[in-house]
Chain A
Amino acid sequence: MTIDSARGAPSPGAADDPSGLAEASPELIQLLTPEGVRVEHPDYPLDLTPEEVRGLYRDLVMVRRIDMEAVALTRQGELGLWASLLGQEAAQVGSGRALAERDMVFPTYREHGVAWTRGLDPLKVLAMFRGLSNCGWDPAEHNFHLYTVVIGSQTLHATGYAMGIQRDGVLGTENAAATIAYFGDGATSQGDVNESFVFASVFNAPIVFFCQNNQWAISEPLEKQSRIPLYRRAQGFGFPGLRVDGNDVFACLAVTRKALEAARSGQGPTLIEAFTYRMGAHTTTDDPTRYRLEAELEAWKLKDPIERVKAYLVRGDLADPAFFDEVDAEAKQYAADLRRRCLALPDPQPMEIFRNVYAEPHALISEEQEQFAAYLESFETEGSGS
């Protein structure tokens, strides 16, 4: 330990360079190379049937196609905003497919891929971004909590929920569950995320912190958030931190699965840093050409999460061209249906404003609701009199 390294000064080497492109290294857990070659990792054995791999491939393609459709709908003015997950499909599908039904997910606003793996109808996500509600699904239906727009807030909710699981006395039993909290590289600078690390550690809560480090917090690169690789933050809080190739769906699946099992068996939290890249804009209102280089994007294109699974399937003769055509056709059809369903969504009625603010009767809400209803009715009365 030198003075420099103790101070966390960046030193040469991929592992110490938070902004550098990750190469396969002892720090980076990878089970499938960008070329589609399967590699083994002693700590993360993964035995998938060809059918399971094809299933993951289908997930990745569907999620990307849904995301593309949502971007198009936004460009056409049908959605107010969209946060694209382009490039992060493997991190989301891999971690999402690692979850047991009883586990509870706490997403940000970009986890459309995780939502897909939980069985949440993408229409519900589109409805939120279309402005029909501020979210609007029942978290209990798929154990998938509401999208959270304030950066990092949900990590504390996930930690508290995990403390609740502990108090239910189910850890280590067949009813054991864990929570998983998703957040980005920018969120690691938030107080709430650091406080959630403290609480999770002190209470040994059954939680997995899944950080999708997509290198950019809108226009700010990772070095504006950290001088060390993010997975190392965990050590200071007293629990394990790992860096996984976030574009490798196999590695994301295996590592998340193991971390969830550890949580459910009472071994406490894990931080997983999924090293990935946001191929698109932060949201549809953002212009990434103003702050990042085309060369960086090109380099990451070579690490595409879908192409490597396709290469693996082809190389192993695990899928024929007809399979890929079928998946593409299915995705195209699904997206077209989704678009139709989205455009058919009715606007909410004005009185919806007053609904569900409180669980129990509230005099002020009732009063304003009545006044507004009478006001609206006055137009109808005027109209009928003319």
Chain B
Amino acid sequence: MKNSIRAIGPGLFLLAAAPALATQGHGDPEGLYVHQMSHIFFVFSMGILIYWLRARKLVRESGWRYIQYAGFFFILWTLDAFVAHLLDEQLRLVQVTRIDRWHIRLDAHSEWLELVYYIVKLDHLLCVPAMIFFYMGVRRLLMTVRHDGSVPGISEAQ
């Protein structure tokens, strides 16, 4: 009798359990969250790059200094993009409706938010300068190497 009761206990527990799914579903918002997280990660890594360049005093060399500026503009750009995604996709504070080929309508609680949204949509004004600074930095490194033959800044870092 005692044994029967002992067997029924775990059995009832198993029958009462909710259905367990082997894999987790990845619905609509996850892609956006991952993308936003990638922007945050990008800010973090560019911040670390700038920190290293400054800590090693490499920014005394113009090539590395330009790369530092590139990192700074990349941070601005990724924050800009983050805000844009936040406004229209995540928080849905701004709705965009295409009226015709060259016009759009912005709907938000306030006009200044619509204006902010319009400005942050021009994110290339930040990421293109970042890429130009990166290009200038690399070019300057090449010029220095052509002249001196060694990696700029290595002697200062000894």
Verify that A and B bind, or say they do not: no
Chain B residues within CB distance 8 Å of chain A: none
